[in-house]
Structure 1
Amino acid sequence: MTNASRRSFLAGLLAAGMAPQASWADTGNPAFLAAGKTADDRFLLAGLDTAGDILFRHPLPARGHAATAHPSRPEAVAFARRPGTFADVIDCRSGAPLARLTPPVGHHFYGHGTFSEDGSRLFTTENAYDTGDGLIGIWDAADSYRRIGHISSGGIGPHDMRLRRDAAGLVVANGGIQTHPDSGRAKLNLPVMQPNLTYINADGQITDQLELPQELRLNSIRHLAIRNDGTVGFAMQWQGDLGADLPIIGLHRPGQPARLMAEDDPRLRNLNGYGGSVAFSRDGRHVAVTSPRGGVLQIADCDTGALVQEIRLSDVCGLASDATGFVITSGQGIVAAIDADRVIPRRQHDLAWDNHLIPLS
């Protein structure tokens, strides 16, 4: 990492903050962001309120994946699906475009990003595809999202990334899968892949890494959730042959071994080896994972690791929590709440919701 990149990283994590001219209250206070596809195959990012109604729409040039919201200004960034080369900055008061970010030549985005706590920096997960290096791009959100540098992600295939809650810095899910745009979404290094969870401090230095045991090295660490105490929840996607009761959810704290949820529960097979999204309940007692491939939502007890609930829902993937419990979206256009063993529909849209439901609080 260059000195300029390190200074930029530090500024984003430790700066005092900016005085916004507009706030999220000007948008009607959306509760969630979600990418989707219309019935006539157009792509968009939508802002949803707590009832599941759409407050704004922004058209995307191709399929979106996840998004991130500025902590104070009513702005969001919608990321292209891997391997994508656009990230749209959106005025959430109207859905109007503010900027379109493109990665440097030789890079592509991996579908996720996050703002610094003060909102002065945007961090993006990226692949330098000629070398296979995973990178975290750094953008100056106070200067029209100017690109100002990058640091190492600590592995190959960085996908999801979150701000840490136990210390200043980032935690990155390095999925371990090498790709190249010339090969589309083909996985080029399965014989040697090794995913990891990487912790980066406010100096841009790697301070801790979790690697899975060798027998689980094909379990790509892809998506993250952060509990209030700093515990990281991670969802995995198995890249080998199916058949075993594969753990798909894990919990981790720096300096400790991972805790894999429901390791001996045969219902793990219902996930079909695929964790689409992961979220903690608001009280931190439970962690949930969705699987669109299995058509199932599973909820585990964080203390015991046991599965406590399983709900079937076709093409379910988007997942978040609110004051009432877990909230999900599906490829069938459903926005629904989970209450005990019931799916309680909030709204049905003529859209196919994509992988993630991004909470704004």
Structure 2
Amino acid sequence: MMQRRAFLATLAASLTPRLTWADVGAPAFLAAGKQGEDFFLHGLTARGESLFQLPLPGRGHAAAAHPKMAEAVAFARRPGTFALVIDCATGETRHRLTPPDGMQFNGHGAYTLDGTLLMTSEVVAETSEGRIGLWDTARYSRLTDWPSHGIGPHEIKRLADGRLAVANGGIQTDPVDRAKLNIPDMRPNLTLLSAEGALLDQIELADLRQNSIRHLALHGDTIAFAMQWEGDPAEPVPQLGLWTPGSAAVLCAPPEAEAFTMQGYAGSIATTAERILITSPRGGALMLFDTGGSHRATHHRPDLCGAAASGDAFTVTDGNGAIWSASDDALTPLTANPTQWDNHLVALT
């Protein structure tokens, strides 16, 4: 009898019409944040107005937006203790994803173009060996996992042709307290996988192997990557790199007078057709570069981190509740509310 009831419930759920993002106000972005002692996932307009606010069981990090339905996966701050599949129309948590024993989510995920698969950034807890989890989104059942071909994968991005870019940060961390265990020997890399998980290409920064590759944005076939320096803080290093698979990486340094502005830490990255933006909550700044990697502007604001593009415009968030529009000319306020915005602003594209 119980099996029959479970089957009928599954059948009924599968027959229920699923709403699209247009049905929930066509949000431009998703963002996690904190209000008081409570944590939420917000759907935001291009001007930073909140269309919906859904509770989370703890601090969120990034989210993955289903390409067709008003459904999102909210990931915990790493090491991940939750990844929730949320119906953004009803607020219902449809599924709570759990990685296999001995593994942890690592803050990010991405859907395939048709939305039938979810890919999650994961690590083997004891070693930080990287894995990419694959989930069938019909019921969010675990299918398999692929090697990420590195230590500590963080952000992953699906290219338009189905290939997957993986930022392997290179840092082995304690599975409980996040202590960094291998800084002298770390080897970050940027990896390109096929749509079937095969290793296609990979780069390492041999001369800057303590520059952890963390976050990614796409500009056509070029992968822009943001880095966090774990070496000597007195050494100025770039926090932005560009890589077109099949060629060498290009590192993009700001002017010498601004070499320490980011304090060795880029927290988020976004691209438009003509610009690349990186933020630094540690430095209280953002920088804009052209797509060739030349610095164009720097703007200052405490605790800037979340960044995303909508069309040709950049939107950024800070930990004090403000949302801004960023251009070469200015950082312009859009909205402010009591939410302390977390690390990332995820564009719905």
Instruction: Give the letter for the 1:161 counterpart.
Output: I
Tell me if structure 2 keeps the 8 A contact 1:245–1:263. no
TM-score (norm 1): 0.89
What secondary structure is seen at the aligned counterpart in 1 of 2:80? coil
- 1:205 is aligned to 198
- Name the counterpart of 1:360: 348
* Range moving further from structure 2, 323-332 or 258-267: 258-267
* 1:46 pairs with 2:38: no
SS at match of 1:154: strand
Q: C-alpha separation between the residues in 2 aligned to 1:95 and 1:337?
A: 28
Give CA deviations for 1:181-206 in whole Å, capped at 9, x if unaligned.
Answer: 23x11011112110000100123110
Distance 1:47 1:195 in 2: 33
What residue in structure 1 maps to residue 278 of structure 2? Answer: 289
**Which residue number in structure 2 is paired with residue 334 of structure 1?**
322
Matched, 1:302 2:295: no
Instruction: State the shift of 1:51 in Å.
Output: 2.2
> How far does residue 266 in structure 1 lie from its aligned partner after superposition?
3.4
Paired with 1:261 and 1:195, the residues of 2 have a C-alpha distance of 17
Q: For 1:111 and 1:341, how far apart are their aligned partners in 2?
A: 33
The residue identity in structure 2 corresponding to 1:348 is A
1:245 partner amino acid:
P
The residue type paired with residue 174 of structure 1 is N
Q: What is the identity, as a one-letter code, of the residue corresponding to 2:58?
A: A
Q: Per-residue CA shift, 1:230-287, capped at 9, x if unaligned?
A: 2100000011221222100000011100111126633131000000001112x2x211
Residue equivalent to 1:5: none
Work out whether residues 175 and 222 of structure 1, in 8 Å CA contact, stay in contact via their aligned partners in 2: yes
Displacement over 6 Å in runs of 4+? none
AA aligned to 2:146 is: I
SS in 1 for 2:185: coil
**Structure 1 Cα separation of the partners of residues 326 and 288 of structure 2:** 11
Question: Match of 1:238?
Answer: 229
In structure 2, C-alpha distance between the alignment counterparts of 1:210 and 1:243, rounded to whole Å: 26
CA RMSD between the two structures: 1.5
Partner in structure 2 of residue 162 of structure 1: 157
Q: Which residue of 1 aligns with 2:218?
A: 226
Single out whichever of 260-269 and 317-326 deviates more from structure 2.
260-269
Q: Report the alpha carbon displacement of residue 130 of structure 1 after superposing the two structures with TM.
A: 2.6
Q: Which amino acid aligns with 2:87?
A: D
How far residue 161 of structure 1 moved from its aligned partner, in angstroms, is: 0.1
> What TM-score do you get using the length of structure 2 for normalisation?
0.92
Structure 2, unmatched stretches of 5+, are 1-15
2:129 counterpart (118, 133, 136): 133
C-alpha displacement of 1:58: 1.5
Residues 177 and 20 of structure 1, relative CA distance in 2, 3 Å threshold: farther
Structure 1 position 324, deviation (Å) = 4.9
Equivalent residue in structure 2 for 1:350, among 324, 333, 338: 338
Give the fraction of aligned pairs with identical amino acids, expressed as a percent.
48
Matched, 1:147 2:138: no
Please state whether the residue corresponding to 1:293 is helix, strand or coil.
coil
Q: Is the 8 A contact 2:325 2:332 kept in 1?
A: yes
* Partner SS state of residue 259, structure 2: helix
The code of the aligned residue for 2:86 comes to I
Which blocks of at least 5 consecutive residues in structure 1 are unaligned? 1-18
Structure 1: how far apart are the matches of 2:260 and 2:105?
Answer: 31
State how far apart, in whole Å, the 2-side matches of 1:163 and 1:339 are: 26
Counterpart residue number, 1:66:
62
The letter for the 2-side match of 1:314 is P
Following the alignment from structure 1 to structure 2, what is the Cα–Cα distance between the partners of residues 274 and 209?
23
